[in-house]
């Protein structure tokens, strides 16, 4: 199958596995299928959570702060505990999560465009290894990283060319889809529960700009990234 068509297929699969409510309602009559989709979706979506939380951690490091630890949870939520030395640094660290996911999605599709499938897997292996060695300390996150690294390294060393292509496209599509969905969720939270809306609440506290502004910014960024990817690397 042509690469562009594979991207379409895996984008659809990524949406299905992302547990969008209306898709869940379509299969509510089959509890087993729903549970399988839920379990697979949660597990794979953690790749984007890792990217998101690692972006916080990297920005903390770049601004002279410290990464105290990262938590990756079974429900795909995550938490990066960082310390920063200034308000500007705290703003940059809070801003980095959703922005990092969108930028990584662009980078992954650029590598797909070049046909550098193995480098996409290398990226995830290296990022996972950094998290495993230095940042993640909760048991579920540790076990997920161990299994994820093991699976990726197995496929790299076995050199399954066609399978590497499928895996790299799938992971890239999942990061893109999750970056949009998570940005939409935080936008919704910034409207309905602005005092407990994650990064947007922190940014509102540090900048005195309402959480809704940051929620809109994150969502618009994700849409712009998706549009750029579509124009540059899919419809090329």
Q: What is the pLDDT of residues 104-160, one digit of tens each?
A: 999 999 999 999 999 999 999 999 999 999 999 999 999 999 999 999 999 888 877
Say whether pLDDT at 24 is over 60: no
**Structure tokens belonging to residue 88:** 């500007």
Average pLDDT, the chain: 92
* DSSP tag of 195: G
State pLDDT tens for residues 167-205.
Answer: 999 999 999 999 999 999 999 999 999 888 899 999 999
Whole-angstrom distance, CA of residue 41 vs CA of residue 1: 24
Cβ(233)–Cβ(112) below 8 Å: yes
How sure is the predictor about 37, in pLDDT bands with cuts at 50, 70 and 90?
confident
* pLDDT of amino acid 149: 97
Indicate whether 1 pLDDT > 90.
Answer: no
| pLDDT score, position 200 | 96
Furthest C-alpha separation in the chain = 53
């Amino acid at each position: 199958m042509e690469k562009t068509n594979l991207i379409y297929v895996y984008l659809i699969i990524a949406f299905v596995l992302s547990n969008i409510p209306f898709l869940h309602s379509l299969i509510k009559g089959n509890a087993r299928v729903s549970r399988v989709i839920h379990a697979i979706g949660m597990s794979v979506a953690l790749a984007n959570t890792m990217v998101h939380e690692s972006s916080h951690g990297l920005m903390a490091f770049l601004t002279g702060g410290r990464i105290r630890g990262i938590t990756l949870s079974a429900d795909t939520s995550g938490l990066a505990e960082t310390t920063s030395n200034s308000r500007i640094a705290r703003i940059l660290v809070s801003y980095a999560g959703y922005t990092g996911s969108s930028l990584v999605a662009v980078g992954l599709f650029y590598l797909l465009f070049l046909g550098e499938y193995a480098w996409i897997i290398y990226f995830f292996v290296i990022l996972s290894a950094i998290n495993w060695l230095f940042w993640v300390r909760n048991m579920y996150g540790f076990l997920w990283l161990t299994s994820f690294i093991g699976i990726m390294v197995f496929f790299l060393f076995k050199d399954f060319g066609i399978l590497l292509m499928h895996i790299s496209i799938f992971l890239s599509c999942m990061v893109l889809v999750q970056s949009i969905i998570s940005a939409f969720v935080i936008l919704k939270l910034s409207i309905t529960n602005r005092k407990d809306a994650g990064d947007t609440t922190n940014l509102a506290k540090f900048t005195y700009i309402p959480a809704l502004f940051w929620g809109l910014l994150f969502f618009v960024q994700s849409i712009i990234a998706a549009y750029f990817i579509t124009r540059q690397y899919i419809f090329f």
